Amino acid sequence: MVSAAVVRGTALAALVSLLAAPAHAVSAESGATKVATRADALPAPDIAGVWDVLRTVRKRGAPGAIARIDDGAKTHWAALGVADRRTKRAISNADRFRIGSVTKIFSAVVLLQLADERKLDLDAPVNRYLPGLLPDNRITVRHVLSHRSGLYDYTNDMFARTVPGFEAVRAKVFTYRQLVNRSLSRPRTTKPGGAYSYSNTNFVVAGMLIEKLTGRSVRTEYRERIIEPLHLRDTFYVHPRTKIPGRHARGYLTPDTAGAALVDATEQTVSWAQSAGAVISTTKDLNTFLSALLGGRLTSRAQLAQMQRWVPAGGTQSYGLGLRRRELSCGVSVYGHTGAVQGYYTYAFASKDGRRSLAALANASNNGTVLNSMGGALESAFCGKKAKPRHRSEHVEKQRAEGA
C-alpha cells in the first residue's frame, strides 16, 4: 500500500460539464421562479484548488486529508494520504470519522424541532426546564445555543496540557451534570445575553434539555429526528463506547512538544463532549445533513430563521443557534461548523440555500497550521478560481481545547 495515495473522484467530463453549465438558480420569491444572473450565482468550484489545500494540509502534519463537494447533481471528491499510519491504508471519503463540534448543529436542530412542537420556548430560562441547574435564571435557551450564556468552558482546564489532558479522560464516562459542575466552579465569562463566548458547556446543557424534554436519550433523538429520515447510513452516536464502527480513519493528536510523536487518539469515549461533540459521520452524510437543514427539510422556516439570527463571533465569522456563518474573500457567505476532537479536524459548510456543500477532514488535531490551511477548501469550493484569499491567518478558536 502507498502511504501518500491520491484518489480522484471527479471525471473530466463532469468537470467540463460543470464549467459550461448556465448559471441559473431558483429561489422562492412570491411563489415565482427567479432566474439569477451569472453574477448572482456561485462560481464553479475550483477542484484543483481543493487538491492544493489537501496537499498543504499533508505537508503541515496531517497523515491524511479528504474533501467532498456536492453541487446539485454533481459530486467532486478528493483524498490524499493515509487513514492508518501503521497499515498505510489510503484514506477515502468512505471513511467514517469523529466530527467534533459539528455535533452542535445536530443538537440545535433537535431543540428547534422541539420548539416547532411547542415543547420549548427559546427565550425561556434554562432553569424552567432544568430546575436549579444554573445559578442565574436569566440564562435562556437562546443564550445557550448562541454561546452568550457566560458559562465557562470546562475544556479550557481539562485540556490545558494536550496529551496528558486527553489521556486523563480518554476512557472516562461523565454525566452531563459533572461536566456542568466543572464549568460552574469557575467564574462566568459574560452576563447572560452578553457577547459571544464559545463554550462546550452550552451544548452539554443542550443535551440535558433534549433528554429532559423528550424523556429519551440524545442518541435516540439524533437517530429518529435526523439520521433515519435523511438516510445517513454512516452517522452514529455511540457514546460511551470507544470504537468507531466500520471503516474509519484513525485520528492522530499532535503533542504540545515540537517534534514529539503523534498520539493515536482514535479510541475514546468522547464523554467529555457528548452532545457538544461526539457524533461520528462521513463527508457524504455531512453534506446531506447541511443541505437538508439549509434547504428547509429539518425545521420550519420560522425556526430556521431563528437559527440564523447572527451575533458577531470574531473576524469574518458570526454565530446563530448552533450554526456558524463565515464570509469568504469573494463575498459569499457559507453556513455550517468546524469540528475539533482529538485526532480529527472537520470543516462542514454549505451555501445559504444548501445546494452546494463541502465537508473536509484532516486526521490530525492540536495543529493550528493544519486547521487554518483547511479553511482554504472553502475558498476553492465556493469562490472558485478567481478567489483572492486574505493575506492573514484566520481566527481559530479552541485549538487546544479540541472541542470547537
Closest alpha carbon to 58 in 334, 367, 403, 391: 367
The angle, 0 to 180 degrees and rounded to 10, between the axes of the packed helices 376-383 and 47-59 is: 180
Contacts of 356 (CB under 8 A, 6+ apart): 42, 45, 69, 70, 71, 72, 350, 381, 382
Contacts of 250 (CB under 8 A, 6+ apart): 63, 83, 84, 85, 264, 266, 343, 363
Q: Using CA atoms, how far apart are residues 345 and 356, in angstroms rounded to an integer?
A: 21
Contacts of 85 (CB under 8 A, 6+ apart): 63, 250, 252, 262, 264
Q: Apex CA 209: angle with CA 203 and CA 215, to 5°?
A: 135
Contacts of 72 (CB under 8 A, 6+ apart): 355, 356
Q: Using CA atoms, how far apart are residues 384 and 49, in angstroms rounded to an integer?
A: 8
Would you say the C-alpha torsion 377, 383, 388, 392 has a positive or negative sign?
negative
**In 10 A of CB 241, how many CB atoms?**
12
Catalytic residue (one of 92, 101, 107, 271): 101
**In 10 A of CB 315, how many CB atoms?**
15
- Counting beta carbons within 10 angstroms of the beta carbon of residue 12, is it exposed (0 to 12), middle (13 to 18) or buried (19 or more)? exposed
Q: Using CA atoms, how far apart are residues 296 and 210, in angstroms rounded to an integer?
A: 21
**In 10 A of CB 362, how many CB atoms?**
34
Q: Using CA atoms, how far apart are residues 245 and 291, in angstroms rounded to an integer?
A: 25
Q: Apex CA 5: angle with CA 346 and CA 260, to 5°?
A: 60
| Contact predicate 2/88, CB 8 Å | yes
Residue 101 annotated among the catalytic residues of the structure: yes
Catalytic machinery residues: 101
